[in-house]
Amino acid sequence: MTIEVYRDAWGIPHLRAADPRELAFAQGRVTATDRAWQLEVERHRAQGTTAAFLGAAEVPWDTFVRRARLADTARRCFERLDPETGAWVRAYADGVNDGLPAGAGRAAEFAATGLSAGRWEPWTPLAVWLSTHILFAGFPAKIWRETVATRLGEEWTELFATDGPGTAGSNGWVVSGERTASGAPIVAGDPHRFIEAPGVYQQIRLACPEYDVVGIAVPGVPGLPHFGHTGRVAWAITNAMADYQDLYRERLRRRAGGGVEALGPDGWRPASAHVETVEVAGGEPVATEVIETDRGPVVTGPVGAAPGAADGPERDEDTGATASWEAVSLRCVPRVTGELGFGALSALLGAHRVADVDRAVDGWIEPVNVVQAADTEGGLLHRVAGRVPVRDRANSLRVVPAWEARHRWREAPAPLPRAEVRGHAVMANARGLAAPLGVEFAPAHRAARIDTLLGASAAWTAGAMASVHTDTDNPSAAPLLAVVRAAGTPRPPGGTASGVTPASRVVAARDAPSGTAPGTLSPAATRIRDRLLAWDRRMDAESTDAGLYAAVRGAVVRRITGHPVFAPLREPTPYPAVFQPWLALGPRVAYALETLLVAGPVPVADIARIVREALEEVAAGPEPGAWGVTHRLAPWQALPDHDDAQWPGLAGDHDCVLSTSSVPGFTDRSARSSAARYVWDLAERDDSLWVVPFGASGVAGDPHHRDQLPLWLRGDLVPVTTDWHHLSKEHPHDAH
């Protein structure tokens, strides 16, 4: 086969081949050449073998992947692909294998870890997709709600509902031609994910006689599943925040003759069970039992019984089985159906108009997304794509009993909403189009702000969209500022605020700063209060007022987290480490702060006291610096270099359109932000724009390793170039 590889000024690969299968091979090979280390890390993460070269810190992830049976699910789904799609995916994996030796030779990480480039199986791209998205819908939030209900009370189950630090999101919008300067639609946005170095997205162009598409790929996966522009039609996705994975409380026991049984609606039934070994670099191997019931794989244990418990003394006198224990199983669509929707990936590449995109994503499985698309004929699309099971409402809220029949899935999936685009449409993970399919959504701030910004003009251009991407207005600050505004108002003599108890008044008086009365502020704290009330609410990196707000917010979050009413939620939970981001109280308080300031079990008077104490704490300490001094990029790296000073300061905040999430009260460093930004112009594809946080190459020292970082920080974008004459051709690659 003959494959042509071109590069633009940013090192972005443009590939040309004779047919889609050759092109998939080329995509796999160039990805392996550019990002060999990243691909090998993803392959090992998908198989649960990362601890073998990264050490004991990766054991929790490897154990989860083994228990969740991700690799086996990928094999099943690959076997169910139609022959054409199966051959297309196989060609990609073959291309990866062809390019890995050369790519590994360029990547110093292989020598540093002693890792050799391994072999990709035809099903490996599906496994990478599963491991990348298995936690995308945040099913551990159901364990969190269960914990809140049992430890704090049923009435507080949904108190912390918000898109927390463990959930990925996005901004996305489509503007019709009647609202643009050219008269043609524009599709734009930015996916918010944990930032990884190398980046989780790859700019690339795929061209063959059947199609010619520029877009943003997932390294390790063929095609352009999330963002693409064919010249005639463009598409993009955002997280629909749907709920499509369930957790079941299982009762398990060991049979007298060996094996495990699980209690279901029809009584005790056999469950599959075997032991796998996780190898650990520099440590002892870890054995983990893999159990799967009729609901799905057990992912939290087994809790309360070791694999050797069959020899224990407690047995049923009639059956000889051991006493039962409880664990939690995970039920997800690909494991149940053997379908992952990869046929949609190849179908998208051949789309010519919105109707083609619409048909292609009918076959989408997970994650469940909102799809927006536009074409050169004026066609517009705004719909949900994916498969959401129909089941009892309780399944979406909590861990449900496996033995109750009402928690079974119905055979037919839920219908998928869609909406007409009138002028423009926005999806930023807020409750709206996908509301019937989910439980927890992002606050409306980002969506409302984008809607306001887009409504301010009827002559949008691709270049002007950067002003939306980079907007730093922080409306979520309003509730805290309202309490700050009231902080200097003395409490009326003898008055009682709602929820105040004699004990809380004693605490407030006891903790009031020296020389002040309860309900009043010191002169230094008053000055901080006045500065915050005059602040423009913009989280600009150079803003000292934004830094001051963050310092006060952090102090408030820490105090609310430490309030006695939340003591039960501060106790450790018996769940695996991989679920802890959803179960830690501090981040939950940080992201639900708006709600907790006005509702919840913390008395109103205690909230007022906490805010006064926070103002005094900040007043007594060193002057907070500009927001960008502490709000620094903190990407995940498989081999961290521990040089935080190299990472720059950021503008934005969690609920800004420029979403750069930290965990207020615990760290200002941002691990989640825009993993890419894109603007697809349907008037002229070469007027489109895109950028990623780092660069096209995953090889340290390569000129294109991090050359886009300065632009990403400024909010600038790189022009899309598709004229082959303006690209640099690499030497031909001839493979047989």
Q: For the chain, how far is it from start to end, CA to CA, in angstroms? A: 6
Longest CA pairwise span in the chain (Å): 89
Is residue 205 a contact partner of residue 230, using CB atoms and an 8 Å limit? no
The enclosing H or E element of 187 equals: strand 186-194
- Report the C-alpha gap between 340 and 566 in whole angstroms: 40
The residue type of 620 is A
Q: Report the pLDDT value the prediction gives residue 667, as an integer from 0 to 100.
A: 96
C-alpha 537, offset from chain centre: 26
- Name 3's Cβ contacts closer than 8 Å, sequence gap at least 6: 15, 16, 17, 22, 23, 25, 26, 29, 732, 733, 735
Q: Report the pLDDT value the prediction gives residue 731, as an integer from 0 to 100.
A: 78
If you average pLDDT over residues 23-27, what whole number do you get?
98
Q: Greater confidence, 2 or 483?
A: 483
Percent of the chain topping pLDDT 90: 87
Is residue 329 a contact partner of residue 402, using CB atoms and an 8 Å limit? yes
User: Has residue 303 got a pLDDT over 70?
Assistant: no
Burial of 491 from C-beta contacts in 10 A (0-12 / 13-18 / 19+): middle
Q: What angle do CA 327, 330, 332 make, to 5 degrees?
A: 170
- 486/604 same-domain check: yes
Q: Which two tokens stand for residue 349?
A: 């590449």
- Phi-psi region for residue 47, left (φ > 0), alpha (ψ -120 to 50) or beta? alpha
Taking CA atoms, 133 is separated from 46, 62, 449, in Å, by 11, 15, 28
Q: Report the length, in residues, of the chain.
A: 736
The neighbour count for residue 355, using CB atoms within 10 Å, is: 15
Is residue 403 a contact partner of residue 389, using CB atoms and an 8 Å limit? no
User: Has residue 463 got a pLDDT over 90?
Assistant: yes
- 149/283 same-domain check: no
Residue 162 phi, psi dihedral angles, 5° rounding = -175, 170
**Is position 383 within any domain?**
no
Q: Report the pLDDT value the prediction gives residue 307, as an integer from 0 to 100.
A: 41
- 479/620 same-domain check: yes
Is residue 384 a contact partner of residue 418, using CB atoms and an 8 Å limit? yes
Q: What is the DSSP letter of 25?
A: H
If you average pLDDT over residues 592-613, what whole number do you get?
96
The enclosing H or E element of 735 equals: none
**Is position 22 within any domain?**
no
Is residue 105 a contact partner of residue 33, using CB atoms and an 8 Å limit? no
- 619/479 same-domain check: yes
Q: Report the pLDDT value the prediction gives residue 2, as an integer from 0 to 100.
A: 87
pLDDT by residue (tens digit) across 502-555? 333 333 333 444 444 456 899 999 999 999 999 999 999 999 999 999 999 999
Quick one: pLDDT band at residue 257, thresholds 50, 70, 90? confident
Number of H helices, E strands in the chain: 25, 24
Q: Report the pLDDT value the prediction gives residue 304, as an integer from 0 to 100.
A: 38
The 3 state secondary structure assigned to 342-400 is HHHHHHHHCCCCHHHHHHHHCCCCCCCEEEEEEECCCCEEEEEECCCCCCCHHHHHCCE
Burial of 20 from C-beta contacts in 10 A (0-12 / 13-18 / 19+): buried
- Name 204's Cβ contacts closer than 8 Å, sequence gap at least 6: 12, 13, 14, 15, 27, 30, 31, 214, 215, 216, 217, 224
> For all residues of the chain together, what is the average pLDDT?
92
Quick one: pLDDT band at residue 298, thresholds 50, 70, 90? very high
Q: Which two tokens stand for residue 371?
A: 């799809």
pLDDT by residue (tens digit) across 104-133? 999 999 999 999 999 999 999 999 999 999
Q: Report the pLDDT value the prediction gives residue 320, as an integer from 0 to 100.
A: 58
Is residue 330 a contact partner of residue 247, using CB atoms and an 8 Å limit? yes
The neighbour count for residue 686, using CB atoms within 10 Å, is: 14
Q: How many domains does the chain have?
A: 2
pLDDT by residue (tens digit) across 43-84? 999 999 999 999 999 999 999 999 999 999 999 999 999 999
Q: Is the peptide bond before 13 cis (omega within 30 degrees of 0)?
A: no
Is residue 276 a contact partner of residue 291, using CB atoms and an 8 Å limit? no
Q: Which two tokens stand for residue 528?
A: 């901080």
- 255/160 same-domain check: no
Q: Is the peptide bond before 436 cis (omega within 30 degrees of 0)?
A: no
Exposed e or buried b for every residue in 217-248, given b needs 16+ CB within 10 A? Answer: bbbbbbbbbbbbbbbbbbbbbbbbbbbbbbbb
- Report the C-alpha gap between 133 and 129 in whole angstroms: 6
- 159/274 same-domain check: no
**Bridge pairing between strands 13-16 and 202-208:** parallel
- 479/593 same-domain check: yes
- 148/258 same-domain check: no
pTM as predicted: 0.93
Domain final position from 583, 602, 625: 625
Is residue 223 a contact partner of residue 346, using CB atoms and an 8 Å limit? yes
Is residue 418 a contact partner of residue 372, using CB atoms and an 8 Å limit? no
The residue type of 17 is A
Q: Is the peptide bond before 367 cis (omega within 30 degrees of 0)?
A: yes
Domain final position from 301, 336, 371: 336
pLDDT by residue (tens digit) across 198-230? 999 999 999 999 999 999 999 999 999 999 999
- 156/294 same-domain check: no
Q: Greater confidence, 506 or 558?
A: 558
**Is position 155 within any domain?**
yes
If you average pLDDT over residues 163-191, what whole number do you get?
90
**Is position 491 within any domain?**
yes
Q: What is the dihedral of CA 650, 655, 661, 667, to 10 degrees?
A: 90
pLDDT by residue (tens digit) across 632-680? 999 999 988 755 557 999 999 999 999 999 999 999 999 999 999 999 9
If you average pLDDT over residues 371-380, what whole number do you get?
98
DSSP string of 161-174, one letter each residue: -S--TT--EEEEEE
**Is position 504 within any domain?**
yes
Percent of the chain topping pLDDT 70: 91
Q: Is the dihedral of CA 618, 622, 623, 628 positive or negative?
A: negative
Q: What angle do CA 103, 108, 109 make, to 5 degrees?
A: 95
Domain final position from 625, 640, 657: 625
Residue in the block written with tokens 């996780």: 278
Q: Is 278 helix (H, G, I), strand (E, B) or coil?
A: strand
- 151/276 same-domain check: no
Q: Which two tokens stand for residue 610?
A: 């906490």
Range of the domain at 280: 245-336
Q: Which of 211, 221, 226, 239 is nearest to 353 (CA)?
A: 211
Residue 242 phi, psi dihedral angles, 5° rounding = -75, 160
**Is position 76 within any domain?**
no
pLDDT by residue (tens digit) across 393-452? 999 999 999 999 999 999 999 999 999 999 999 999 999 999 999 999 999 999 999 999
Half-sphere exposure of 679 (CA within 13 A, CB side): 25
Q: Which two tokens stand for residue 248?
A: 């079941």
Q: Report the pLDDT value the prediction gives residue 323, as an integer from 0 to 100.
A: 85
- Name 675's Cβ contacts closer than 8 Å, sequence gap at least 6: 190, 191, 192, 193, 195, 199, 200, 201, 692, 693
> Based on C-alpha coordinates, what's the Rg of the chain?
27
**Is position 607 within any domain?**
yes
Q: Report the pLDDT value the prediction gives residue 162, as an integer from 0 to 100.
A: 77
Q: Which two tokens stand for residue 396?
A: 């979406």
- 144/270 same-domain check: no
Is residue 222 a contact partner of residue 25, using CB atoms and an 8 Å limit? no
Q: What is the CATH number of the domain that holds 277?
A: 2.30.120.10
- 620/481 same-domain check: yes
pLDDT by residue (tens digit) across 329-362? 999 999 999 999 999 999 999 999 999 999 999 9
**Is position 318 within any domain?**
yes
- Report the C-alpha gap between 133 and 237 in whole angstroms: 14
